[in-house]
Amino acid sequence: MSIELTNESSAPVTNKIDIARFDISSMVGHKITLFSDQFAGKPLSSRVVVASGHTISLDRSGGFGLVDNLVNNQRITVRLEYKGEEIAIEGTLKRVDRGGCKIEFDDKVQPLFRRRFPRVFMHRPVNLAAVPILSFSHSRLSRLRWMITDTINLSGGGTLLDFSTNLESSTYLFLNIVFSEISFPSLVMGQVCHCQQVDDGHFRIGVGFISREEQTRHLSHSVISQLPGALTNYDNVKRFLLSKRIVAWMHNNK
């Protein structure tokens, strides 16, 4: 097991990461923002239509047509969301046959923000159920469909799951993560931050846990009043302590 290159601060970071650690092909279809000297101070929105190696091809109709006016061989900065985190990659824009627009990326990626809580790679059994949050009531608890999966990584603030079903971003979940060694709460509530298919029948699902103090930002008071009482055991203090315990447990069990 190992700890990801993350930190407990949400401040901007300066350490760049090798681009080989990123799956560029997963960017196809994703929206990106371009920054260029040609249109200084004017972010241009586009979409990735092809991605291979360190190169992406752009939808030339983006940026109100300005993407199609970008000149050859200029430096470009691309900002996008990758697995729930915002990153920036610099590269060189290339105009190709029939007016195509490609960007050849440099070898390094700049994460723009650190995680608030460090993630530890570990496999732990998880029971989870999707929650119909708009119509949820305590009487529906017994009718929730519970499914079994495993964590890929875990922190006091969230987890990455290996799952057999695609879950839309913003889906709310109840999670029972089996980790009695550190007294992990018997039930936490989370929200899907990102979902990426890695192969047939397998998805990587990033989930952020919702503390008791954060519930009012996500849910109405009427829904909160119907939530299981066990969720009150997970608050901001508990989240911080769990992150410390997970890292300590990892170091003690190498």
Residue ranges per structural domain of the chain: 17-111, 120-252
Q: How many CB atoms lie under 10 A from the CB of residue 70?
A: 22
Collapsing DSSP to helix, strand or coil, 83 comes out as coil
CATH of domain 17-111: 2.30.110.10
Interatomic CA distance for residues 127 and 175, integer angstroms: 6
Q: How many CB atoms lie under 10 A from the CB of residue 97?
A: 5
Q: What is the pLDDT of residue 31?
A: 87
Q: What is the pLDDT of residue 61?
A: 84
Strands (E), 71-146: 75-82, 85-95, 101-111, 120-121, 125-131
Write the class of the CATH domain 120-252. mainly beta
Alpha-helical regions (H) of 100-191: none
Tell how strand 172-177 and strand 158-163 pair up.
unpaired
Q: Do domains 17-111 and 120-252 have the same CATH topology?
A: no
**pLDDT higher for 37 or 198?**
37
Per-residue pLDDT tens for 34-68? 988 888 778 898 999 999 889 999 998 877 788 99
